[in-house]
Amino acid sequence: MNFAVLKETEPGESRVALVPEAAKQLLAKGHKVSVEAGAGRSAFIPDSAYEQAGCVLRANADAAMSATDCVLKVRAPSISEAERLPGGTALVSYLWAARNPQLVLKLKDRKVASFAMDAIPRISRAQSMDALSSMATIAGYKAVLLAAAKLGKFMPMLTTAAGTIRPARGFIIGAGVAGLQAIATARRLGAVVEAFDTRPAVKEQVESLGAKFAAFVHEEAHAESEDKGGYAKEKSASFLAKETQFLAEKIKAADFVVTTAQIPGKKAPVLITRAMVQAMAPGSVIIDLAAESGGNCECTRADETAVENDVTIMGPTNLPSSLPLDASRMYARNVLSFLLQIVKDPSKGSDGLTLDWDDEIFRETCITMGGEIKHPKLRQ
C-alpha cells in the first residue's frame, strides 16, 4: 500500500503521525510512504530524515494524497480536509466519532475506510497500538512539571542552612495511565503523594509507586467499578455526594492536585467545586487533565489558566504536543503496530486491507467503509 503522511493543520498541534524509523519498517515490508513537506518540522524531524529513510517527499497535502491508498494523521481531519480525501482511500487517525457525527457522515459520503486510533480495544494483544495510553503517559508526566513550575514552593524536602523545608503534598485524582505517570513523576521530584480512584483494584499500583492510596469506603466502591475498556464506570448521585465530601478534605490539604477522571463519551465529572478551591492554601495549583471534556474542576477553562482565591487552575488539552518528538515516536509506533495488524503483507504477495471482521481490533476501530457507517454503536 501507499501511505501518505500529512502535516497537521490544527493550531498548536506539533506531532506527526509517522516518524522515519517507523516509515522504514513499512518500506521494508514493501509498502510505499509519501510525506508532505514540513510534516515533521514541528516535531524537530527534518524532511531530509524522511528522504534518508526512503520516503518520497511531496510539496503539499494534495500531492502526497494524489496516489495514496491510506492517509495517516494524528488529529481528526476537519470537514474541509475530509472533503479533500480521495474517494475510496483509507484513513488512520484519531476520530472521536461519537463527538464528530458530521465528520463521520462526510467520511461515509467520500467512501473513506476510516479507522480510529482512539477506539483501539483494551485487550492484551492491542497494547502496542494503544495510542490513548501512550499520550496519557505524556500528559501525566507533563502535568506534574506544570504544577512544579507554578507552585510557590519546592517539591522535595530540603535541609538547608536556613532550616528544613517540608516537601510539597500532591493529590492525584484518577489512577489510570495518566494518573500513575503523574504519581511516578511527582515522587521522582520528591513530593509526598496521595492518590484516589473509584476502582479499589488500583490500590496496589498506586502503592507500588510510593504513594498512599486514599481509600473511600462506600458500598458502590466495592461493586464492579470499571468497564471492559478499563475505564471507571459512572457512579450514582448518592455515591458522588459522599465522594465529594471525602475529596474536599484531601484537596484542602494538598499543595497541588492533578485530576484525570473521565468517562468515555460523556462530560467529565465535576469533582472539585469552587468552594473546594477556595478552601485550598494560597499558592496551590490544580492541573485538570479532563479539561477537554468539561473538566473535573468547576473553575477549569480549557487551554486557559484561571486564578481563584490565589489558587492556580490550569486546563491544558494537548499536553502531548508539548513533547512533540517523543509523542510522535510513541504515536508512530502505535500506528505502525496497528497497520501491521489491519494491512496485508506485500512481501507475501498480497496487498490492501485484511477486511478481517472477525478480528476485534479491525472491527472495533473501523468507523466507515464503502459508503457505510460500520461501527455498530454509531448506527444506533
Catalytic center residues: 122, 127, 130, 133, 231
Indicate the residue type of 359: D
d(CA 329, CA 331): 6
Q: Which stretch of DSSP H or E encloses residue 247?
A: helix 237-253
d(CA 113, CA 69): 10
Indicate the residue type of 76: A
Q: Which stretch of DSSP H or E encloses residue 278?
A: helix 274-279
Per the CB < 8 A criterion, the answer to whether 295 and 306 are in contact is: no
d(CA 299, CA 290): 12
Per the CB < 8 A criterion, the answer to whether 47 and 38 are in contact is: yes
Backbone angles phi, psi at 171, to 5 degrees: -130, 120
Backbone angles phi, psi at 88, to 5 degrees: 85, 0
Cell of 327: 509523542
d(CA 303, CA 18): 26
Angle at 297 between CA 295 and CA 303, to 5 degrees: 50
3-state helix, strand, coil in the chain (%, to 5): 40, 20, 40
Using CA atoms, how far residue 124 sits from 44, 148, 322, 378, in Å, is 32, 34, 29, 25
3-state SS assignment for residue 63: helix
